[in-house]
């Protein structure tokens, strides 16, 4: 997104109009009302605003490739505009909100659209349930793992993500939460020193599960 972009997360239809609004019953409700109403954009001095639904789990398109004015809307794999995922010129959006009397985001934003951006792969997730949220988190984790491996020159096939996550969960619950990332680092050092990953994970998992006994023995020895 261009510098100075603010966020405006839509939380869905509002049952009442914003202060000072006029019009028939229901004015200020609907998707467009979520942008203009009390939960709408509070952008300060920003010149661009990102409009995104609260249940979208990833960032939307940037507006850096658009000239002055207008905005950018994301499109899905079938080329359909996702009006709850876009970046818009604040001044034009405010003018459009003053003129527009409808409730549709398409009606509000389509005239402002300068570009449509097809985001690569599945770049956003409609998170309506806990399972949807977990899926989004795991996809972000997979993307991060791939990029981190590329940055460090590591073959992603060597990374057993689930095994590492299970180990760090055992350590976080059995020892202490800050010990989990430290353990992951120590696991990497052990592998670099020649210890087989499976052996190192098994030993550390056992240690974490028996942490109480291990510390008792340490205190007794001292």
Helix, strand, or coil here: 162? helix
Residue 126 has pLDDT above 70, yes or no: no
Residue 111 has pLDDT above 60, yes or no: yes
Helix, strand, or coil here: 169? helix
Residue 61 has pLDDT above 70, yes or no: no
pTM of the model: 0.48
Q: How wide is the angle at C-alpha 189 spanned by C-alphas 183 and 195, nearest 5°?
A: 100
Q: Going along the chain, which residue ranges are E strands? A: 5-10, 48-53, 71-75, 81-89, 113-118
26 band by pLDDT with thresholds 50, 70 and 90: very low
**What mean pLDDT, rounded, does the chain reach?**
75
In 3-state terms the chain splits into helix, strand, coil percentages (rounded to 5) of 45, 15, 40
| Per-residue pLDDT at 82 | 84
| Per-residue pLDDT at 50 | 84
3 band by pLDDT with thresholds 50, 70 and 90: low
Region of 13 please: left (phi>0), alpha (psi -120 to 50) or beta: beta
Distances (CA, A) of 143 to 1, 15, 101, 120, 164: 20, 39, 42, 12, 16
């Amino acid at each position: 997104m261009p510098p100075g972009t603010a966020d405006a997360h839509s939380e869905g239809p509002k049952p009442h109009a914003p202060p000072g609004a006029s019009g028939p019953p229901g004015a200020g409700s609907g998707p467009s009302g979520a942008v203009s109403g009390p939960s709408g954009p509070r952008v300060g001095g920003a010149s661009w605003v990102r409009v995104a639904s609260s249940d979208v789990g990833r960032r939307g398109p940037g507006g850096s490739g658009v000239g002055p004015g207008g905005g950018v809307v994301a499109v899905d794999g079938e080329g359909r505009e996702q009006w709850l995922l876009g970046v818009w010129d604040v001044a034009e959006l405010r003018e459009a909100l003053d003129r527009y009397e409808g409730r549709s985001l398409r009606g509000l934003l389509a005239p402002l659209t300068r570009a449509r951006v097809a985001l690569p792969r599945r770049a956003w997730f409609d998170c309506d349930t806990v399972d949807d949220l977990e899926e989004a988190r795991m996809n972000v984790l997979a993307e991060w793992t791939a990029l981190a491996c590329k940055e460090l020159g590591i073959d992603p096939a060597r990374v057993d993500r689930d095994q590492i996550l299970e180990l760090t969960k055992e350590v976080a619950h059995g020892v202490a939460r800050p010990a989990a990332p430290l353990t992951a680092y120590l696991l990497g050092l052990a592998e670099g020193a020649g210890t087989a990953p499976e052996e190192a994970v098994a030993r550390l998992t056992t240690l974490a599960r028996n942490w109480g006994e291990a510390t008792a023995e340490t205190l007794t020895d001292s």
